[in-house]
Amino acid sequence: MFERKRKEDILKKLRKARAKRVLIQVPEGLKMSSLDLVDFLEKNKIRTFLSLEPCFGACDLREREAKDLGCDLLLHIGHSDFGLKTKIPVIYEEYEIPCDPIPLLEWHLGKLDCDRISLVTTIQFVHCLERVRKFLESKGKRVFIGSSGKLKGGQILGCNYSSAKSLEDKVDCFLFIGSGRFHPLGLQESVKKPVFFLDLEKKNLTNFFRERERMETLRIMRVQKAKEFRNFGIVISTKPGQLNLEGAERVRKKLRSEGKNVYALVADQLTPEKLIGMKIDVLVNTACPRIREDFEQFGKVILDAEDIDLLEQ
Ligand code: SF4
């Protein structure tokens, strides 16, 4: 929902940037209400184009489309800037989701059996962290909120856990506050301390530490399975923040040296339909790690680029 104040703020920013023709990107959850924003901007003499492509992160800036449409600015709603260089100006309009995690946290506090805690979340809930810090400190816990580069304090991305990892030596556990398993699971895979997930949607608190072992076992199984196959596709995304040609080249060389058939598969976003009829057995992902969530739909072995080194062991 774009309340009046937010719409006026956006208009002010656009006017300050002297934008007259704008491509707007919104995450799925805001698409419905974005028409209201479009109406408001059009009434105020801003020519708008609304991108209907799915948008999961600031890695996915639709700069090329904006240029093709003759736009002078890209308005990217819902994610924060993580430093992508662009040829046209971008306004990042972060979108906070109102939340009050304290009653839920208080209810589950007994399960949070560690004293030094690092708080982590996604951009939509960063604004809640200070309240959580105060609450936990009042209960005798020591609380840390990490930072890294352009990320906000405590913010993680599914492809960047550096703000949490910077604190790993100082804390006993991590507390992720938000919704969806993708981020806390990814974090648990990349740190050795337990990750607790306070799920604001399902209203529970789960310790993911056991998942770490399970994920590692699954990874080894995927690698073992991949060894049996010959046809490997390297997934390369053309989204500006996901394009990783260097990584793809490394994977290609490595697989060739293992005697595999290698195909560089290029897509904005790879979906199972795009592979129909192709004899590819294993996908090696150099793009967004989210693809792993869809492995069942792909019906193929999916490896991360880093797993390639395990193939020869
Ligand atoms: S996790 Fe995926 S969608 Fe999110 S910022 Fe990283 S590459 Fe983009």
Q: Which CATH number is 121's domain given?
A: 3.40.50.11850
As a three-state string, the secondary structure of 88-110 is CCEEEECCCCCCCCHHHHHHHHH
Considering the domain architecture, whether residues 25 and 74 belong to the same structural domain is answered as: yes
d(CA 167, CA 53): 36
On whether residue 242 sits in a domain, the answer given is yes
Could you tell me the CATH number of the domain that includes residue 235? 3.40.50.11860
What's the total number of domains in the chain? 3
On whether residue 212 sits in a domain, the answer given is no
Q: Order the strands of the 90-93 sheet from edge to edge.
A: 47-50, 21-25, 73-77, 90-93
On whether residue 291 sits in a domain, the answer given is yes
Could you tell me the CATH number of the domain that includes residue 28? 3.40.50.11840
Considering the domain architecture, whether residues 111 and 199 belong to the same structural domain is answered as: yes
Query: What does the pLDDT look like over 10-31, one tens digit per residue?
Result: 999 999 999 999 999 999 888 8
On whether residue 144 sits in a domain, the answer given is yes
Query: What does the pLDDT look like over 125-173, one tens digit per residue?
Result: 999 999 999 999 999 999 999 999 999 999 999 999 999 999 999 999 9
Query: For residue 21, what pLDDT is reported?
Result: 98
Considering the domain architecture, whether residues 130 and 48 belong to the same structural domain is answered as: no
CB 62 within 8 A of CB 23: yes
d(CA 142, CA 136): 8
Q: Which of 103-107, 148-152, 239-243, 263-267 has the lowest mean pLDDT?
A: 148-152
Considering the domain architecture, whether residues 189 and 226 belong to the same structural domain is answered as: no
Considering the domain architecture, whether residues 106 and 141 belong to the same structural domain is answered as: yes
Query: For residue 311, what pLDDT is reported?
Result: 84
pLDDT at 206 over 90: yes
Query: For residue 294, what pLDDT is reported?
Result: 78
pLDDT at 192 over 90: yes
- Of 66, 93, 120, which residue sits at a domain end? 93
The band of 2, judged by pLDDT with boundaries at 50, 70 and 90, is confident
Does 56 sit in the ligand 1 pocket, CB within 6 Å? yes
Considering the domain architecture, whether residues 199 and 295 belong to the same structural domain is answered as: no
Best CA proximity match to 104, nearest among 201, 188, 209: 201
What average pLDDT does the chain have? 95
Query: What does the pLDDT look like over 27-61, one tens digit per residue?
Result: 988 888 899 999 999 999 999 999 999 999 999 99
Considering the domain architecture, whether residues 203 and 106 belong to the same structural domain is answered as: yes
Rounded to 5°, the CA angle 264-267-268 comes to: 145
Query: For residue 233, what pLDDT is reported?
Result: 98
Q: Residue 89: count other Cβ atoms within 10 Å of its Cβ.
A: 14
On whether residue 176 sits in a domain, the answer given is yes
Considering the domain architecture, whether residues 203 and 221 belong to the same structural domain is answered as: no
CB 193 within 8 A of CB 168: yes
Considering the domain architecture, whether residues 241 and 279 belong to the same structural domain is answered as: yes
Best CA proximity match to 163, nearest among 172, 178, 153: 153
Considering the domain architecture, whether residues 198 and 243 belong to the same structural domain is answered as: no
Best CA proximity match to 289, nearest among 192, 196, 187: 187
| Pairing label, strands 231-237, 261-267 | parallel
The band of 295, judged by pLDDT with boundaries at 50, 70 and 90, is confident
Distance 86 CA to ligand 1 centre (A): 17
- Of 48, 67, 93, which residue sits at a domain end? 93
The band of 312, judged by pLDDT with boundaries at 50, 70 and 90, is confident
On whether residue 252 sits in a domain, the answer given is yes
Domain that holds residue 59: 4-93
On whether residue 160 sits in a domain, the answer given is yes
- Of 72, 93, 114, which residue sits at a domain end? 93
Which residue's alpha carbon is nearest to atom 5 within ligand 1?
Answer: 57
Query: For residue 131, what pLDDT is reported?
Result: 97
* Shortest-distance atom of ligand 1 to CA 58: 5
pLDDT at 296 over 90: no
Query: For residue 32, what pLDDT is reported?
Result: 87
Looking at the DSSP bridge assignments, the partners of residue 76 are 25, 92
Does 158 sit in the ligand 1 pocket, CB within 6 Å? yes
Query: What does the pLDDT look like over 71-129, one tens digit per residue?
Result: 999 999 999 998 899 999 999 999 889 999 999 999 999 999 999 999 999 999 999 99
Q: What is the C-alpha R_g of the chain?
A: 22
Considering the domain architecture, whether residues 110 and 73 belong to the same structural domain is answered as: no
Which letter does DSSP use for residue 296 in this model? Answer: H
On whether residue 280 sits in a domain, the answer given is yes
Strand intervals (E) in the chain: 21-25, 47-50, 73-77, 90-93, 116-121, 142-144, 173-178, 195-199, 204-207, 231-237, 261-267, 282-285, 301-304
Considering the domain architecture, whether residues 67 and 108 belong to the same structural domain is answered as: no
Does 159 sit in the ligand 1 pocket, CB within 6 Å? yes
Rounded to 5°, the CA angle 77-182-237 comes to: 65
CB 134 within 8 A of CB 143: no
pLDDT at 240 over 90: yes
Does 290 sit in the ligand 1 pocket, CB within 6 Å? yes
Does 286 sit in the ligand 1 pocket, CB within 6 Å? no
Q: What is the mean pLDDT of residues 234-250?
A: 97
Looking at the DSSP bridge assignments, the partners of residue 302 are 283
